[in-house]
Amino acid sequence: MDITTEGATPSSPQNDLEKTSESKIQKPIKIFFCYAHEDELLLQKLQKQLGALRKLGLLDFWHDRDISAGTNWQQEINQQLDEAQIILLLVSPDFVNSDYCYSTEMEQALERHRQGTNYVIPIILRPVHWQGTPFSHLQVLPTDAKPLSGWSNLDEAFFDVAEGIKKVVEAFLKEEKTQDGKQIRTNKPDVQIVHPHKIKIPASFFMPRFGLRNIFFILFCLFLVIGNNIAWFFVTQQDQLRASLRSTAAANTYWAVTARRGVDFGFNAAHTRLNPYEQIINTMNAIHLAPLWSYHTGNSIYSESAVINSTIYIGSRDGKLYAFDASCSSACQPLWSYQTGGPIFSSPAVAGGMVYIGSRDGKLYAFDASCSSACQPLWSYQTNDWVDSSPTVANDMVYIGSNDNRLYAFDASCSSACQPLWSYQTNGWIDSSPAVAGGIVYISSFDGNVYAFDATCRKTCRPLWSYSRGRALVASPAVADGMVYIGSETGEFYAFSAACRNSCQPLWIYTGNKPFGSSPAVANGIVYVGSDNGKFYAFDAACHNPCSPLWSYQTDGSVYSSPAVANNVVYVGSRDGKLYAFDAACRNSCQPLWSEQIASSIDSAPTVANGMVYIGTYNGDLYTLGLTA
């Protein structure tokens, strides 16, 4: 990009900036960022690209995160808008749909632009219909108004934007004048942003007075530019090919490993909810996630999907277990479905060539995983009440709870007329899904107890230990890094040592103000869990006592959805109907990388596999989201 007037002799931007810096400008040029909070990650990246100018003392940034506690925020924003010389409109669907950004801040900025007291630059972050908006008459960035999210290389995209902003800054600096020995600056320079293909070059530039040496030099420069672009093209193609090969290899690994180990509620038997094989969706491209297809079942979906053997399994409150082809990309229909005798809140587990799921008709069902149409159960077992608990398969055993207050254990090798090897009677119903790790089976009960059983036991099994605060437990435990985590219906979140074998007590307890109905996820030294108060919490897994959240994020609805972690991205749903994605590397004041309003409410847990995110909704839809750019 360049800023020029026809016939003018361009000077070196770098020299201009160095001279300006050496002249010690009294005040830096203030930039005001007008943006939607959903785009905060992109805002931060833009600030980094402009960081060099800030370090030179040429720029000063301001946005609403700089407002101090207790400050009149409306008054502060108005003051900063009045003081800013450059106002950047970070345009996206969320920006356009924000009444405050679009109507209040933008209108005030444009009015000052019309008065000539500042300079407004719209920056197109993500695709949106911005033509015809009040700022559509202004020159926008990046080049050719191509949204930042559509560039194959985000660093190049932000560099392009930073270059355009730098040209405006240089124009401001040229407008500085000296009067009575004092430096003054006009707020708005006489400047026009011109993209490379629009630069007007005087005809005299090519006149013979430049000589053959100059012409050869120009041709040599053009040769270098063209050669560099060709090289860049091939490097980009190679990078894309490598990325494609890595994605294919990761997908093959996922299918192979899950086929061998199986998939449980929470991805594995320990319920860590971490998929370590995802290589497609990451923290950089998660902003491009969007629904690819959805299928409407006959009632709400609380079940979590299991993705294995190129098949998606999920239950619905309409009483059906559904199976879809994971390779389908649009208008997908079930390969098959089976109608049980009651609503399904349980999530399927797939292992050893079998698909297991519970139903509110009181049965545990087992299907042949190789079946692809008109599938019927190989066997089912009738308990004495609802089976909302999700089965867990580990060590050749199938564990599941029931609202008849019992934990059941079956032989996973059984294929017909199967009966429990053993069961244990608690004093409350069991909605929790058993977690199995380190030779121990952990389960919680509505009687307020956390129970631990020896996983090698095959008959008349009794708990190795139990712990009770007399408070109801319905969430499922997660076991990772030598710890057992579980939340309660009365707002306590517990952490136990997985090494304990008798008389076990929590190492620490965090007391919230609402139930923890979400089951925790553990990854990269962080424990994630949602609460009925609408907050999504992150705890340090290394903490031992007393422990408080590293950070929390407030959604607009209760968080009963259990989080999932894949490729450094944390996903969770909320009863506000949004699916959220966070950067797993974040340790404080974390904001979503991305969110999508897909329903009126979400209790189902997300499942991430091979570049797809699967989630059920209260509206009864199974959504499949993938990258659209």
CB 36 within 8 A of CB 46: no
Q: How far is CA 240 from CA 233, 244, 253, 596, in A?
A: 11, 6, 20, 27
What pLDDT is recorded for position 245? 62
Q: Which two three-digit tokens encode residue 520?
A: 């925790």
What pLDDT is recorded for position 624? 97
Segment 229-247 mean pLDDT: 63
What pLDDT is recorded for position 144? 86
Residue ranges of domains in the chain:
13-206, 262-627
- Within 13 Å and on the Cβ side, how many CA atoms surround 297? 33
pLDDT of 582 strictly over 70: yes
Is the omega angle on the peptide bond into residue 515 within 30 degrees of 0, that is, cis?
A: no
pLDDT of 187 strictly over 60: no
Q: Which of 336, 337, 359 is nearest to 347 (CA)?
A: 359
Q: How far apart are the first and last CA of the chain?
A: 25
Mean pLDDT computed over every residue of the chain: 86
CB 604 within 8 A of CB 301: yes
Segment 543-571 mean pLDDT: 95
Q: Which of 618, 613, 536 is nearest to 305 (CA)?
A: 613
Unique residue bearing structure tokens 């219909």? 129
Task: Give the pairing type, strands 440-444 and 449-454.
Answer: antiparallel
227: left (phi over 0), alpha (psi -120 to 50) or beta: alpha
pLDDT of 57 strictly over 90: no
Work out the number of other CB atoms within 10 angstroms of the CB of residue 493. Answer: 25
**CA 39/CA 22 separation, integer angstroms:** 35
Unique residue bearing structure tokens 């090289």? 231
Give one DSSP letter per residue of 77-90, joined into a string.
HHHHHHH-SEEEEE
Q: What is the pLDDT of residues 120-145, one digit of tens each?
A: 999 999 888 888 888 888 889 998 88
What's the whole-model pTM score?
0.65
What pLDDT is recorded for position 179? 41
Q: Which of 521, 522, 525, 530 is nearest to 553 (CA)?
A: 530
Please calculate the CA angle 621-304-246 and round it to the nearest 5 degrees. Answer: 100
**CA 550/CA 582 separation, integer angstroms:** 14
Segment 94-99 mean pLDDT: 82
Q: What is the pLDDT of residues 590-606, one digit of tens each?
A: 999 999 999 999 999 99
pLDDT of 488 strictly over 70: yes
What pLDDT is recorded for position 11? 43
**CA 528/CA 269 separation, integer angstroms:** 18
What pLDDT is recorded for position 101? 82
Q: What is the pLDDT of residues 74-86, one digit of tens each?
A: 788 888 888 898 9
Segment 37-52 mean pLDDT: 86
Residue 205: pLDDT band (50, 70, 90) is very low
Segment 431-457 mean pLDDT: 96
Q: What is the pLDDT of residues 162-175, one digit of tens each?
A: 988 888 888 777 66
Topology adopted by domain 262-627: Methylamine Dehydrogenase; Chain H (2.130.10)
What pLDDT is recorded for position 234? 64
Residue 176: pLDDT band (50, 70, 90) is low
Segment 394-399 mean pLDDT: 96
Segment 284-290 mean pLDDT: 95
What pLDDT is recorded for position 340? 98
Topology adopted by domain 13-206: Rossmann fold (3.40.50)
Percent share of the chain, pLDDT over 70:
86
Residue 102: pLDDT band (50, 70, 90) is confident
pLDDT of 493 strictly over 90: yes
**CA 291/CA 244 separation, integer angstroms:** 21
Higher-confidence residue: 67 or 425? Answer: 425
Percent share of the chain, pLDDT over 90:
60
- Least confident span in 52-56, 313-317, 498-502, 576-580: 52-56
pLDDT of 532 strictly over 50: yes
Q: 515-540 b/e with 16+ CB inside 10 Å = b?
A: bbbbbbbbbeebbbbbbbbbbbbbbe
What pLDDT is recorded for position 196? 39
Residue 221: pLDDT band (50, 70, 90) is confident
